Amino acid sequence: LVIVIDFGGQYNQLVARRVRECNVYCEIYSYKIDIEKIKEMNPKGIILTGGPNSCYEEGAATYSKELFELGIPVLGLCYGAQLMQHILGGKVEKAPVREYGKTEVIVDDETSPIFEGVSKNTICWMSHFDYISKIAPGFVTTSHTADCPTASAENKEKNLYAIQFHPEVLHTEEGTKMLSNFVMKVCKCSGDWRMDSFVEESIKKIREKVGDGKVLCALSGGVDSSVAAVMLSKAIGKQLTCVFVDHGLLRKNEGDEVEAVFGPEGPYDLNFIRVNAQQRYYDKLKGVEEPEQKRKIIGEEFIRVFEEEAKKIGKVDFLVQGTIYPDVVESGLGGESAVIKSHHNVGGLPDHIDFKEIIEPLRDLFKDEVRKAGLEMGLPEYLVFRQPFPGPGLGIRIIGEVTEEKVRIVQDADAIYREEIANAGLDRSIGQYFAGLTNMRSVGVMGDERTYDYAVALRAVNTIDFMTAEAAEIPYEVLNKVMTRIINEVKGVNRVMYDLTSKPPGTIEFE
Ligand code: XMP
């Protein structure tokens, strides 16, 4: 185990990712974590992340000096590096020149374990306004840049390493090598953390925890809840009941696809209940136009339907949640990064269900690791590589009132769009893409007749973290083909538009 102590920097999850890519297990904790807890965990290494503060300012995030005296190797990155120097007697000040972006770093000490196998001149990602003006006693400078006399420093004897730049960012060309050097060479991790053993281990733990108890899972058909359900099914078979609520706002055929995998005809051993609540939702949504109100109705109705089903099942011992690691970090539980969004998931936690405990088997995994686990357990690729799909479903891709007719239009248009994107071989390279239904109707002409129909909007974005996004550049021929097919095949549509807006100022979804 390596632990990452989070000081609020924007790349913190990346640090954890890179460490995991070395097949070393790691977890992120806030800088507020008690040192006793760290001692208990006895990690093989500690990484201090970047952060937005100046470490010499009053009230800045800090840590006890004892951290550096535990005999555990510590690597400080950016703010973490400055803090290490500051605490151990070095000096950090406002830099005369702020460094930002790709910067050439010159390695001065080729015997440094961090730079083993790294070029003497190497491009690194810098982002700092403070700098280490004097290194702490016992340290030597191991690299510099044109503007920064200490780009890295170390105290080899005590296994303390400070790096001003960001090796976790891919713009640092040999950054992965440096982090791997730290975890493998300095911390001497064995690098044998693998997905198959994680899955096996998790199944074993679930079995022990659940015993002969009953488990209930709200299955949405999304990647996370599907992988969680399969893991539970492998562990405890029919002690698991999955409730799948079809709210009528799913993509075309999605309800049947979920049933094909998890239902009685599918390969997994579990109880599967599909609730066809489509009409109920359409009734509730009738006449409602305001986006937030729609979201609220969809969310609340889900909880109600789910509770009703749970009541029929009776008392259960555990409730499964498909929480994944970024959810934990984003909601401020794991790390220090600001809470950025609190999207309401239809899979939100119902209040009135009688259960003892929550099981979150994917709590420690990143999204791509969840996918790996899914493939490992034999889930079909189309399910594992499914696009993100919002909890409120098509409800927030139909602007204005939701009706059964509009749902049909957007489902059909979206299915064509997805099919053509896949035909063009773009389905894995675009971050997220879907069709939405604008509330606009306009005049057109078709077969010599006047039409007055809806306009469909195509959306496709590339994004790394879904917090910012750019419209994807889809080849014109592909868009043209999609347009022709939608107009020809989807009744009620006479116009197709492509949304060019980035986020911000737009959002990815329409509502
Ligand atoms: P926005 O529209 O906020 O979307 O730019 C960012 C990402 O979040 C997804 N999204 C949601 N996911 N419940 C979810 O589970 C929601 O209410 C929700 N709203 C947006 C969206 O699909 C995109 O991936």
pLDDT per residue as tens digits for the range 306-359: 989 988 998 999 999 898 887 776 555 444 544 333 344 444 555 666 788 899
Q: Average the pLDDT over 466-485 and give the result.
A: 95
What's the number of domains the chain is made of? 3
User: Which residues lie across from 453 on neighbouring strands?
Assistant: 442
Q: Judge whether 245 is annotated as a binding position.
A: no
The mean pLDDT value for 86-107 works out to: 96
Q: Which of 509, 510, 511 to mutate to test the pocket of ligand 1 (most atoms within 8 A of CB)?
A: 509
Flag whether 503 is in a domain: no
Peptide bond into 505 cis (omega under 30): yes
Residue 187 is among the residues annotated as catalytic for this protein: no
Q: Ligand 1: does its nearest atom lie under 6 Å from the Cβ of 403?
A: no
Distance 390 CA to ligand 1 centre (A): 5
- Residue 124 falls in the annotated catalytic set: no
Single residue among 338, 360, 384 that ends a domain in this structure: 384
How many whole angstroms separate alpha carbon 281 and alpha carbon 295? 12
Average pLDDT over residues 32-53: 95
- Answer yes or no: is the C-beta of 343 below 6 A from any ligand 1 atom: yes
C-alpha to C-alpha distances, 252 to 1, 284, 367, 394, nearest whole angstrom: 43, 21, 24, 10
- Say whether both 101 and 236 belong to one domain: no
Probe target for ligand 1 pocket from 300, 331, 343, with the most ligand atoms within 8 Å of CB: 343
Q: Which CATH number fits the domain that encloses residue 418?
A: 3.30.300.10
**For 198-233, what is each residue's pLDDT tens digit?**
899 999 999 999 999 999 999 998 999 999 999 999
What would the two tokens of residue 187 be?
């911390």
Same domain, yes or no, for 375 and 227?
yes
For the chain, what's the residue count?
511
Express each pLDDT in 157-206 by its tens digit.
999 999 999 999 989 999 999 999 999 999 999 999 888 888 999 999 99
| Number of Cβ atoms within 10 Å of the Cβ of 221 | 22
Global model pTM greater than 0.80: no
Here the tokens at position 391 are 């909890």
**Beta carbons of 141 and 154 less than 8 angstroms apart:** no
| Ligand 1 site, residue 503, Cβ cutoff 6 A | yes
Whether the Cβ atoms of residue 324 and residue 13 lie closer than 8 Å to each other? no
Selecting among 55, 166, 376, 420, the annotated active-site residue is: 166
Task: Please indicate, yes or no, whether residues 262 and 376 belong to a single structural domain of this protein.
Answer: yes
DSSP assignment, residue 331?
Answer: T
Query: Ligand 1: distance of its center to the CA of 348 in Å?
Result: 14
Is 314 inside any structural domain?
Answer: yes
Residue 511 within a domain: no
Q: Phi and psi of 218, rounded to 5°?
A: -90, 110
Helices (H), 22-113: 35-41, 79-87
pLDDT at 395 over 90: yes
User: Could you give the CA distance from residue 11 to residue 363 in angstroms, rounded to a whole number?
Assistant: 20
For 251-260, write each residue's pLDDT tens digit.
999 999 999 9
Torsion 189-195-199-202 (CA) sign = positive
- Select from 245, 468, 436 the least CA-distant residue to 348: 245
> Average pLDDT, stretch 14-25?
91
Asked whether residue 275 falls in the same domain as residue 139, the answer is no
- For the chain, percent of residues with pLDDT exceeding 90: 81
Flag whether the ipTM exceeds 0.95.
yes
Residue 367 in contact with ligand 1 by CB distance below 6 A: no
Do residues 318 and 377 both lie within one domain?
Answer: yes
Distance (Å, whole) CA 210 – CA 237: 11
Among 155, 186, 217, residue at a domain's last position? 186
- What integer pLDDT is reported at residue 338 of this predicted model? 42
Note the Cα 408 to chain centre separation in Å.
30
Between 12 and 418, whose confidence is greater? 418
Task: Based on the fold, state whether residues 210 and 230 are members of the same structural domain.
Answer: yes
pLDDT at 93: 96
Tell me the CATH number at 275. Answer: 3.40.50.620
Ligand 1 neighbour 296 (Cβ under 6 A): no
Give the residue numbers spanning the domain of 98: 2-186
- Please give the C-alpha separations between residue 196 and each of 170, 376, 378, in angstroms, as whole numbers: 27, 7, 12
- The reply to whether ligand 1 has any atom less than 6 angstroms from the CB of 466 is yes
Is position 78 annotated as part of the catalytic site? yes
Count CB-CB contacts under 10 A for residue 89: 13
Mean pLDDT of all residues in the chain?
A: 92
Q: What is the pLDDT of residue 17?
A: 87
Helix (H) or strand (E) holding 125: strand 121-134
Model pLDDT, residue 341: 35
Is 235 contained in some domain? yes
Residue 477: CB atoms within 10 A of its CB come to 10
* Same domain assignment for residues 124 and 206: no
Ligand 1 atom nearest 432 alpha carbon:
24
CA of 392 to the centre of ligand 1 (A): 9
Q: What is the pLDDT of residue 356?
A: 85
Quick one: pLDDT at residue 402?
98
* 236 shares a domain with 182: no
Known binding residue 443? Answer is no
The CATH code of the domain that includes 154 is 3.40.50.880
Q: For 203, phi and psi rounded to 5 degrees?
A: -60, -40
Distance between CA atoms of residues 298 and 183, nearest Å: 46
What are the distances in angstroms from CA 98 to CA 54, 127, 128?
Answer: 13, 8, 6
For residues 94-109, average pLDDT: 95
**Cβ of residue 432 lying under 6 Å from some atom of ligand 1:** yes
